[in-house]
Structure 1
Amino acid sequence: MSEGETKLYDDRGQYLLAQKDGREIRDASWNACRVVLTTQRVVMIADEKHTVAIDALEQVNDRFDVNQAAAGEGSYTAVRTDETVYLVSVPEQDEFETALYKASLNNGILFVQHPAVEGGVVQSVEWTKAKVKISAEAINLAMADGQKVTIDRNDIGDVGTDERTIKGEERTVYEVEHTDAEGRSVETHVTGESHHTAVLGALLEEGVERHRANLDLSGTEKQVIMALHSGVSPFDLPEFVGMDVEKVEAIFDELVEYDVIEVERERTEVALTPQGRQAAGETIGDR
């Protein structure tokens, strides 16, 4: 390894060369190899050594089922450069991918707007440089203005994309919906150099996929979800959406079953017993 290069992952696995010089290889097959990932390159060591420079990555983590051999493999990481695509399969795929995200993004400089949107309302905040650090749990952004923003990888609700001119350059912007430390729905907008955004997009989409489900929600259920998303308190929601309390609570129960919402605090429902009513009457009589 070169000076300053650090090993992040080393295990037995397999690779399939799915595209070379821009041409898909339809008869490609899997080859057993040793997979070594460092802060600078991915290396697949078999009879030959195949190397992909981290800075050359254009896309990672999507499916590239070039043939039946690829399609039959349940889990792999597609590593793309300009005209070449390697599929890499290892025993601990999530661990490998997190290491790949670290190699590509850790200590890189991104441009961040936070919060760009808060409670559904667009905020007037400037783009700020931020240093990024990836862990298995979170995307951590240390911003030049002193803010520290944490995006929990298990808490990414949605990711939108846009093309904008930022700092004089046309860039891909990722609009990441998540919750902040106070539990409010916010959007953090993130962009950077192309070799950063290529990998960042895969990381963010992986977070979305953890929660994506084919939900067949009714109109009233969607109305409740949007009200909650905009910051309406659950206690104020019946009046806000024009439904009685029992109907809203039934919808809550359904959404909990769908894993769309979670209960943070149970309300205690109480009713007076005959003895209690008697005690209340005595108290009123004493006044």
Structure 2
Amino acid sequence: MRYLLRYGGGNILELLLKAAEEFPTIKMEFQEEIERELKELEELDDMEKQLLMALYSGVDPLEAHEFLGIDERELEEIYDRLIDKGILKIIRIRKVVDLTKNGKKIVNKLVKYGMGML
């Protein structure tokens, strides 16, 4: 029953509902499984659901904030929540960087001596 619910596809649900009507034990197990799945979904807020659907659809995780219309910090908070729930995993850490005072001096020297490669 659980296998069919999880991997069966579209019309399987309809078939299982019809079969469950004739077998009370199966019907009860079927209802319990659906309730567990719905409870799991209810634990996600709307933005988490939208993000999961976006990622599944191929949206780049680094650009998901633009797709969802939120800022990067909010996206990071959502990622943290979904990681804590075991729904997402970290595959790479992106470094956000900025030039230091020394870095800016180096760039100025590169430009001054025509060594910039843009």
The bucket for the TM-score relative to the shorter chain is 0.5 to 0.7
Secondary structure of 2:40 counterpart? coil
- Superposed CA RMSD in Å reads 2.8
Q: Per residue, is there more helix in 1 or in 2?
A: 2
Offset of residue 269 of structure 1: 2.2
**Counterpart amino acid of 1:279?**
I
Question: Across the two proteins, how many residue pairs are aligned to each other?
Answer: 87
Alpha-carbon distance in 1 for matches of 2:53, 2:40 = 18
Alpha-carbon distance in 2 for matches of 1:283, 1:222 = 47
Aligned with 1:254 (options 70, 73, 81): 81
| Overall identity of the aligned pairs, in % | 33
**Counterpart amino acid of 1:233?**
D
Alpha-carbon distance in 1 for matches of 2:7, 2:58 = 19
* Mapping for residues 24-63 of structure 1, pairs under 5 Å: none
Superposition TM-score, scaled by structure 1 size? 0.27
- In the alignment, does 2:7 pair up with 1:159? yes
Alpha-carbon distance in 1 for matches of 2:96, 2:45 = 28
**Alpha-carbon displacement from aligned partner over 1:108-161 (angstroms, at most 9, x marks no partner):** xxxxxxxxxxxxxxxxxxxxxxxxxxxxxxxxxxxxxxxxxxxxxxxxxx4344
Offset of residue 274 of structure 1: 1.5
- In the alignment, does 2:80 pair up with 1:232? no
Alpha-carbon distance in 2 for matches of 1:227, 1:160 = 23
Q: Which residue of 2 aligns with 1:271?
A: 98
**Alpha-carbon displacement from aligned partner over 1:166-224 (angstroms, at most 9, x marks no partner):** xxxxxx8xxxxxxxxxxxxxxxxxxxxxxxxxxxxxxxx9xxx9xxx836111111110
Alpha-carbon distance in 1 for matches of 2:88, 2:8 = 21
Q: Which residue of 1 aligns with 2:30?
A: none
Alpha-carbon distance in 1 for matches of 2:112, 2:86 = 50
Structure 1 gap ranges (5+)? 1-58, 63-157, 164-171, 173-204
Alpha-carbon distance in 2 for matches of 1:217, 1:275 = 45
Alpha-carbon distance in 1 for matches of 2:110, 2:96 = 22
**Alpha-carbon displacement from aligned partner over 1:70-104 (angstroms, at most 9, x marks no partner):** xxxxxxxxxxxxxxxxxxxxxxxxxxxxxxxxxxx
Superposition TM-score, scaled by structure 2 size? 0.61
Aligned with 2:71 (options 244, 248, 255): 244
Runs of 4+ in 1 over 4 A off after TM superposition: none
Alpha-carbon distance in 2 for matches of 1:244, 1:257 = 20
Q: Per residue, is there more strand in 1 or in 2?
A: 1
Alpha-carbon distance in 2 for matches of 1:229, 1:286 = 48
